[in-house]
Structure 1
Amino acid sequence: MNALQTDRFRGVFTALVTPFRDGAIDLEAFDRLVERQLEAGVAGLVPVGTTGEAATLTAEEADVLIRRTVEMAKGRAMIIAGAGSNNTCDTIHRVRRAEAAGADGLLIVTPYYNKPTQKGLIEHYRWVCNSTGLPVMLYSVPGRCGVEIAPETCAILRETCPNVVAIKEAGGSVARVTAIRRACGADFPIHSGDDALTLPFLAAGAIGVTSVVSNIAPKETVAMVRAWQRGDRDLALRLHDELSELAEALFVESNPAPVKAALAMAGLASPQLRAPLTELEPDNLDYLSGVISRFQQNPFFQEIR
């Protein structure tokens, strides 16, 4: 991968929520959320991922969200569409639809529930990559899928699938960054998939984050990553420290229930989710409300805004 291709994955990519109202997608709210991200200067947008409740969306709804994101971004940010599933044939179908909708790249999660071996993962990704010319970001999230992509598997896929160009690593271990870099090379783009670990990941060699927190705090998250990129370690650490409470609170229950509740508190979207997810328990809602209030009133962040 050349430097220009690597740079496309550098920075903050927001894992977009899918706002609902009365059971349907709230497109007006979605547009507001996307524009807010673009104004904050995010490098990329990820519609129809885990945070976007992809597992509950119809194919037609996914198409609408990807097309809408592409149209709104108009070259202002890279669009990496979630297109994974636990069925290889279905994943290929989703990949082709995302490609037709204009996505710049694809986020492909490991098959969940099936718990394939590493050999199975290699076969899955090879079939998927052979079905498209778009760049593919691997997505390893064992907490949701029950299996992770071994560094050696990542290296095999990079070597044998030219369009495997990055990985979103959400296993909760900074050591994985080093292991993946050792297996795949220091130029292989790695994204943090855990907001609380973004700065440690960057310090270990990752180049970006696919963020949930940036739904609420896009300017602040962008400021942290940019501070690190330009060598302002003190500011990056200060921003990391100040964002840490928010990052923790947004995972008090299964994502995206907390971030949707937070967006509702900020007047940006409804907290509605699709079953089997449910809105926050009262105690967790009270806790999150306090965190959001402190975040909104934080004088340090007010300077950034």
Structure 2
Amino acid sequence: MIDSELRRRLSGVFTALVTPFRDGAIDVPAFERLIAAQLAAGVAGLVPVGTTGEAATLSEEEADEVISIAVAKAKGRAFVMAGTGSNATSLAVRKAQRARALGADGILVVTPYYNKPSQDGLFAHFSAVADAVDIPIMLYSVPGRTGVEIAPATAARLAQAYPHVVGIKEAGGRTERITELRRALGEDFVIHSGDDGLTLPFLAVGADGVTSVASNLLPREIVALCGAWAKGEAREARRIHEALFEVIGNLFIESNPVPVKAALARGGAIAAEVRAPLAPLRPENLKALEASLSAFETARNL
């Protein structure tokens, strides 16, 4: 059974942090400002070195730097859940150990990509990571990027074998998955939406929070949405969901994190720079994103 305090800390909004770049290097001041804005908005957690952080293009030294900055800046004000996944089990183990040594509170471990392992292969992969570290582990199922989904039975098998496997980020795009996972794993297991546009529907059927891309840009609004739902204010949660609907759609108009970096750059928070093989947002998509942001800002200021 998951400790109630840990479950509380893992609920709510976790921001899947972008990694700002400038002239090919990590823009540390911009990253620190981004974290400060997240903490000021009251997010529950920070997720450095995930998909949104372009982890696949970071060297181990850069990943260590990003995690270290997040840990230092959070200072107990937010849970730091470092992304440590890999499609090589030995590398995933090493990344998990490094994140623990750097002071991360927990780790987010994605399903191996490209390999397309069986469910037994997934169990062995996550078991190796769980055997190597003793901090909380959140599984990450995102079949659109990895080609394989964590079956509810596999997640339950892992949770039973390893008490520190405490949650899952679900990004398969199917609301019914939340019910399937909840039935297999019980009420204590933490479930996060991995799709911003599905946060409210997922909360409605039993999720505990969201690992959000949009909260890089709009942390107060995403925190307000989840907070309204937690307080039983369903109508207010729906109002915020509807207000954010078009913006969130355009934040995924191309592969994440290209649009959210463009949106942050629009306000001067960071440069829009991404690392190859990602490319800058196409002009027509940038125009659509800017239009939805302008409409949202106008409505917010009325």
What TM-score does the superposition give when structure 1 sets the normalisation length?
0.97
Moved over 3 A (4+): none
Identify the residue that residue 106 of structure 2 maps to in structure 1: 105
Identify the residue that residue 34 of structure 1 maps to in structure 2: 35
Query: Separation in 1 of the partners of 2:42 and 2:7?
Result: 18
Q: Percent identity?
A: 57
Deviations 1:141-195 (A, max 9, x none): 0000000000011110110112100000000011000000101112211000000
Structure 2, gaps ≥5 residues long: none
1:1-305 mapped onto 2 (5 Å cutoff): 1-299=2-300, 302=301
Query: Separation in 2 of the partners of 1:54 and 1:296?
Result: 31
Counterpart of 2:228 in 1: which secondary structure?
helix
Question: How far is the alpha carbon of 1:282 from its aligned partner?
Answer: 1.0
Deviations 1:254-304 (A, max 9, x none): 0000000000111110000000000111110111111121222223xx48x
Counterpart of 1:72 in 2: which secondary structure?
helix
Query: Separation in 2 of the partners of 1:292 and 1:11?
Result: 24
Query: Separation in 1 of the partners of 2:67 and 2:146?
Result: 24
Amino acid of the structure 2 residue aligned with 1:236: A
Deviations 1:189-225 (A, max 9, x none): 1000000000000000101000001011000000010
Counterpart of 1:138 in 2: which secondary structure?
strand
Structure 1, gaps ≥5 residues long: none
Amino acid of the structure 2 residue aligned with 1:125: F
Structure 1 window deviating more from structure 2 (3-12 vs 232-241): it is 3-12
Query: Separation in 1 of the partners of 2:296 and 2:31?
Result: 23
Structure 1 window deviating more from structure 2 (3-12 vs 120-129): it is 3-12
What TM-score does the superposition give when structure 2 sets the normalisation length?
0.98
Query: Separation in 2 of the partners of 1:88 and 1:6?
Result: 27
Counterpart of 1:298 in 2: which secondary structure?
helix
Query: Separation in 2 of the partners of 1:8 and 1:236?
Result: 21
Query: Separation in 2 of the partners of 1:44 and 1:36?
Result: 12
Amino acid of the structure 2 residue aligned with 1:63: D
Query: Separation in 1 of the partners of 2:58 and 2:298?
Result: 35
Deviations 1:115-150 (A, max 9, x none): 000000000000010000110000000000000000
Amino acid of the structure 2 residue aligned with 1:66: I
Query: Separation in 2 of the partners of 1:129 and 1:297?
Result: 48
- For the aligned residues, what is the CA RMSD? 0.8
Query: Separation in 1 of the partners of 2:60 and 2:295?
Result: 39
Query: Separation in 2 of the partners of 1:184 and 1:50?
Result: 25
Counterpart of 2:168 in 1: which secondary structure?
strand
Equivalent pairs, count:
301
